[in-house]
Structure 1
């Protein structure tokens, strides 16, 4: 496992940035260990709800975790607003960094992650494979 710290800048889309991080670092399997920072927009899909809810305010990321494969991510996040209320759910595209987001990624060079249809759940799920051996 290799640790890879990452800092996102104001205006970046959090999910897009995480999904595009794999290519420059040559990763095939990534865990998002934790993330903190601030957002101006959070788009979260709550459990059992089909479409994300958009929150617009000065938001603080309390938790951020998940997996990233070359063909997509599965991320969960909790955020608090100015009144201290906490919301959490699946991270959708459109979460916009307000001042900064600091993330710790764990790169797993011996594995390959992919998101594929799972006939049992009916959803795109994480499939884990061993990486090809290097000569």
Structure 2
């Protein structure tokens, strides 16, 4: 097997922390615009949310949730014209929910990337 010579990545990594009450989408949009980032992806995220807005697979409607949710996974892409994010969360009983993350999701305790 031949392994081609790989070029080092030119990717830049940023750590971002959202404070309680920050709306996730508007904060992410502001960050990439402030940093002049044309395209980005979320490599990892930890924290919790007090609200979640998810569009489940095959559904047209958004489901809005209020409570305490632990972020299990948040990934996707961001650019100035929009974003495509997927969110997996668990409730205090450990029940999991996931889907396409929709706007208007404030963070509860700090949310970190």
Do these two structures clear the TM 0.5 threshold for a shared fold by scoring above it? yes
> Unpaired runs of 5+ in structure 1?
104-135
Between the aligned partners of 1:21 and 1:45, the Cα distance in structure 2 is: 24
- Residue deviations 1:4-40, cap 9 Å, x none? 0100000011122112211111111101111110110
1:75 aligns with 2:85: yes
Q: Hey, what does 1:42 align to over in structure 2?
A: 52
Between the aligned partners of 1:96 and 1:60, the Cα distance in structure 2 is: 13
How many equivalent residue pairs? 103
Q: Hey, what does 1:12 align to over in structure 2?
A: 22
Q: Hey, what does 1:63 align to over in structure 2?
A: 73
Please give the TM-score of this superposition, normalised by the length of structure 1.
0.74
The structure in which a higher percent of residues are strand is 1
Q: How does 1:94-133 map to 2 (within 5 A)?
A: 94-103=104-113
Question: Which SS does the other structure have where 2:30 is aligned?
Answer: helix
| Structure 1 ranges of 4+ moved more than 6 A | none
Cα RMSD for the two superposed structures = 0.8
Question: Which SS does the other structure have where 1:99 is aligned?
Answer: coil
1:93 aligns with 2:103: yes
How far apart are 1:55 and its partner, in Å? 1.1
How far apart are 1:52 and its partner, in Å? 1.2
